[in-house]
C-alpha cells in the first residue's frame, strides 16, 4: 500500500473479492483458528475474555458513549478508500446495536509497530485519547514486512531475517498493548489487534504486477506477520481479530479485488465495512 508501506511494493498479495457480506467469523478459538493457513507453532487467535456480571451490566447500560480509539497504519487511517474507514463504521454498528459509541482515528499512514509504540509513549494527544478509551483497535505490522520482502528479492534478507522482523513486531505490539493499559490507569479497556489479509498488494493488481512465486512470497510474509500480531495479543491478554478469512475465504483462495481500492493495497469502502462487521462479530456487546 502506498500509504501503508514506506517503500513501493514490488511484490504482491491476494484477498477475497466477490461476496462482500460473507458470514463473518468472530475471533477464532484455538481449535478453529485458521489451522490450515497458519504456520506451524503460530499462536491461536484469541476469544474475547468473558465479562464479569458487574461489567456486563455496566456494558449493557453505558453511562456515557463508548469511546473507540484506532491506532496503526494507513488501513486504520482509511487511506485511499474515500470513506470514513472501519473505525467509524464499527462505532456506527455499535450505536445501531444499542451501545452509543464515538470513534477517534489516530492511524498514521506508513507507521510501523515501532512508530506506534513511540506514538503511545511520546505523543500527548494520543496519550490523552487512549487514557479515555473504552476500546482500542490496533492494526500494525505490514510496514515492516514489506521491506523484508523486497530485500528477499535482492538477496539482502534471508529467512532468518524475516523471522527476526516478525519477532520484533510481536515484541513491539505486546509493549503497545501494555502501554495502552498503563495509560488507562487500571480502568477497564478492551484492546484488539487486527491481522491482515495481505501485507502488500492483492487481487487483480497483484496478478497484473507479480508472478505466482512473488505472490506466494507475499502470502508467507502475511502468515508470519499475522502470527506475530496474534502472538502479541496472546502475550498481552488482548483480542486478535481475523481479517484474512473475511477477505480471502477459509482456504485463502478468494479474490478480494472488490474489497480493495484501485491501488490493490488498501481496502475500499466495502472492505472497511467488512472489517467493521468482523469487529462487531468478535465484540457483540460492550
pLDDT tens-digit map of 54-84: 344 344 444 689 999 999 999 999 999 999 9
pTM of the model: 0.79
pLDDT for 63: 60
What is the percent of the chain where pLDDT is above 90? 71
Stronger pLDDT, 18 or 202, i.e. the higher one: 202
Whether 176 contacts 118, CB under 8 Å: no
* Class of residue 244 by CB neighbours under 10 A (exposed 0-12, middle 13-18, buried 19+): buried
Domains of the chain: 62-282 (3.40.50.1110)
Residue whose C-alpha cell reads 480493495 in the numeric block: 260
Q: How confident is the model at residue 42 (pLDDT cuts 50, 70, 90)?
A: very low
Determine the average pLDDT of the residues in 102-110. 98
End-to-end alpha carbon distance in the chain: 32
Beta-bridged to residue 105, according to DSSP, are 70
Amino acid at each position: 500500500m502506498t500509504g501503508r508501506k514506506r517503500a513501493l511494493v514490488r511484490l504482491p498479495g491476494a484477498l477475497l473479492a466477490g461476496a462482500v457480506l460473507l458470514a463473518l467469523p468472530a475471533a477464532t478459538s484455538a481449535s478453529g483458528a485458521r489451522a490450515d493457513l497458519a504456520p506451524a507453532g503460530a499462536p491461536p487467535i484469541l476469544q474475547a475474555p468473558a465479562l464479569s456480571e458487574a461489567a456486563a451490566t455496566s456494558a449493557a447500560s453505558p453511562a456515557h458513549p463508548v469511546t473507540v480509539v484506532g491506532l496503526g497504519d494507513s488501513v486504520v487511517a482509511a487511506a485511499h478508500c474515500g470513506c470514513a474507514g472501519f473505525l467509524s463504521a464499527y462505532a456506527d454498528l455499535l450505536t445501531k446495536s444499542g451501545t452509543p459509541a464515538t470513534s477517534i482515528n489516530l492511524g498514521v499512514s506508513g507507521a510501523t509497530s515501532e512508530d506506534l509504540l513511540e506514538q503511545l509513549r511520546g505523543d500527548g494527544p494520543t496519550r490523552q485519547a487512549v487514557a479515555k478509551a473504552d476500546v482500542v483497535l490496533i492494526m500494525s505490522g505490514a510496514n515492516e514486512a514489506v521491506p523484508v520482502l523486497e530485500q528477499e528479492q535482492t538477496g539482502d534478507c534471508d529467512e532468518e531475517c524475516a523471522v527476526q522482523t516478525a519477532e520484533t513486531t510481536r515484541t513491539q505490539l505486546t509493549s503497545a498493548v501494555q502501554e495502552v493499559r498503563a495509560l488507562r490507569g487500571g480502568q477497564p479497556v478492551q484492546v484488539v489487534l487486527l491481522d491482515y489479509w495481505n501485507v502488500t498488494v492483492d487481487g487483480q493488481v497483484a496478478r497484473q504486477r507479480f508472478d505466482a512465486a512473488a505472490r506466494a512470497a507475499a502470502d508467507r510474509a502475511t502468515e508470519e506477520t499475522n502470527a506475530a500480531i496474534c502472538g502479541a495479543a496472546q502475550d498481552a491478554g488482548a483480542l486478535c481479530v481475523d481479517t484474512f478469512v473475511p477477505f480471502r475465504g477459509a482456504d485463502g483462495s478468494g479474490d478480494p479485488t472488490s474489497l480493495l481500492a484501485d491501488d490493490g493495497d488498501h481496502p475500499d469502502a466495502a472492505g472497511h465495512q467488512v472489517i467493521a462487521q468482523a469487529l462487531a462479530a468478535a465484540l457483540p456487546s460492550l
